[in-house]
Structure 1
Amino acid sequence: MRIVSVRTWALAVFGIVASYASLYWVQANTVDGITPPLVGNLPSIVIQGIGVAVMVYVVAQLGLRQPIGRQWAWLTAGSASFWIGSIVWAYYEVVLEQPVPFPGLPDLFYLALYPLAAIGLFSAVSAFGKLFDTRVPLALAAAVSAVATGAVYFAVFRTIAADAQLSAIEKIISFFYPLGDIWLLLFPAAALALTAGQLRGGRLAWPWWIVVLGYLMVAAADVMFTVGTWDDTYQSGSIIDTGWWLGFSAVAVAASLMLDVQRPRDTGEVAS
């Protein structure tokens, strides 16, 4: 029987409801295409912040002595770094009342997500490698990632690369966001999900598949953000942000579910 805690269900419902309610709230307060900075930035700070808080709780419960706890600590650090980037972004728009520079300080925190989360994901792949042959899952995940890279290249990269008005550093950072999503997040997460499905009747794969879903939404938002910053159409609180709200909420749900899977008797669960 599948066991999911009340905490996990509540977080999942909150992430979905809060994301779409926030999008409606932002759109309702947008006049002539202009959104008040506080309205546009507050949902990111609140929704992502709650997700990070839950992930910190999960890591505390798992403990850093266990490999799984250390793996999720790295993922938590990645989500926390992205959240701090959102706070810095809001500081520019709400407090300083000035456009956010690109590239700028927020990008340092946003980009830190990739190495931090990648350490956790690849360490988990390495741990499973002691039990199973991970070559097939890694090959399948790499093939899908290669196809995704090609799709993003033909859909976005070629046009931006040909823009003579963008500096080299602007192009590099614009490209790194979706490439980081594909190769440092989705690739190892998909390999993990495929490998973990061989244990405990597939239960260990559930959280990793939700991580894949979450990072897919983050990747979609990053691609749209890349286009939006290129053609100067992005603004805080737009539908692009919904991808980040839902994506990082999904990763937090995955963390909570991982705790359910690891310690099903200690989480106040309900059967489903």
Structure 2
Amino acid sequence: MKKISLATILFAIAVLVNLLLYIFQPLGNYFYLVSDAAAIVFSFIAFSFGAASLKLHGFRNIKGRPMFFLIAGIFCWFLGEVAWGFYEIFLKVEVPLFSIADFFWLIGYPLFIVGIYFVWSSTRRKIGVKKLASTIMLSAIILIVFYYLSVPTISTPDLSLTEKVSTAGYIICDSVLLVAMIITLFHISGKELFKLWAALLIALVFMSLADVLFAHIFSNYVSNRTIDAVWNLGYLLIAFGFFMYAKNYRVALERAFKIQDKFD
């Protein structure tokens, strides 16, 4: 319990630091250096905690296989942050639309979907009518809302196809991913996996919000806007979710071994 409490405090401190960075914006006109570095660091933290959790199972384990694809998706997002920072810092491209960064970010989505499928197929169970209705209702609301949020960007003739993919494309991918995660969340029975999935879902909600804001202001976007802090918060939530999962899983293993020792 002490480690969990310490982790919660460290998570709160990281969230506070993230917010303060974008409020005070150190280095002034060169704050984009801090902003790009923060996104790289926070995404790497999310990947690192995910990789540490994967070690508990291995790839061949029924829980390790879906986790591998989820972490691979996060790693691609980390590479996307690195590529974006490279374009801005070294190539002096302020908003590198449809660059190699977009390639890495977009590749992360199908990897997430594969991981979600493995989670759903390994933990699915029959659910009641109320849960089924709630799942359908939430999924429908998300699809409708995100459809209308992406329409202005998709339908405008002022944007090229690559610009539309680099903006509204993420909104569409986010909606599909959110629906898939909600469906899986309603079918999960294990508490450890449920908490991890809930953290991932909340993280994706924040990151989807940031994607929506970016799609609507990208022509005036710079890397010192508050929406960058929202993306970073998503990475921190992912890291915290994986940490809590690993901690709870270890506790469950210890209890299982104690019970086995009593019978031996």
TM-score tier by shorter-chain length is 0.7 to 0.9
Amino acid in the other structure paired with 1:59: L
Q: How many positions carry a matched residue from both structures?
A: 253
Partner of 2:227: 240
Q: Give the alignment partner of residue 199 of structure 2, picking from 210, 225, 229.
A: 210
Partner secondary structure for residue 42 of structure 1: helix
Superposed CA offset, 1:102-134 (max 9, x none): 1111101111121111111111111123xx126
Alignment pair present for 1:193 and 2:185: yes
- More helix by proportion, 1 or 2? 2
Alignment pair present for 1:219 and 2:208: yes
Alignment pair present for 1:150 and 2:144: yes
Partner of 2:24: 28
Is the CA contact 1:62–1:259 (under 8 Å) kept in the aligned structure 2? no
Partner of 1:93: 88
Amino acid in the other structure paired with 2:146: V
Q: Give 5+ residue unaligned stretches, structure 2.
A: 255-264
Equivalent-residue separation in structure 2 for 1:46 and 1:237 (angstroms): 16
Equivalent-residue separation in structure 1 for 2:50 and 2:2 (angstroms): 15
Superposed CA offset, 1:21-76 (max 9, x none): 233224423688x4533122111111221221111111112222211111111111
Is the CA contact 1:204–1:261 (under 8 Å) kept in the aligned structure 2? no
Q: 1:135 to 1:109 in 2, by over 3 A?
A: farther
CA positional deviation for 1:190: 1.8
Superposed CA offset, 1:208-228 (max 9, x none): 111211111111111112112
Is the CA contact 2:54–2:67 (under 8 Å) kept in the aligned structure 1? yes
Is the CA contact 1:41–1:237 (under 8 Å) kept in the aligned structure 2? no
Partner secondary structure for residue 263 of structure 1: helix
Partner of 1:110: 105
Larger mean CA deviation between 202-211 and 79-88 belongs to 202-211
The CA RMSD measured in Å over matched residues stands at 2.6
Amino acid in the other structure paired with 2:52: Y
Superposed CA offset, 1:190-242 (max 9, x none): 2222222x44xx4542221112111111111111121121xx22222421112
Q: Give 5+ residue unaligned stretches, structure 1.
A: 268-272
Moved over 4 A (4+): 8-12, 134-139
Equivalent-residue separation in structure 2 for 1:134 and 1:120 (angstroms): 21
Identity of aligned residues (%): 23
Partner of 1:263: 250
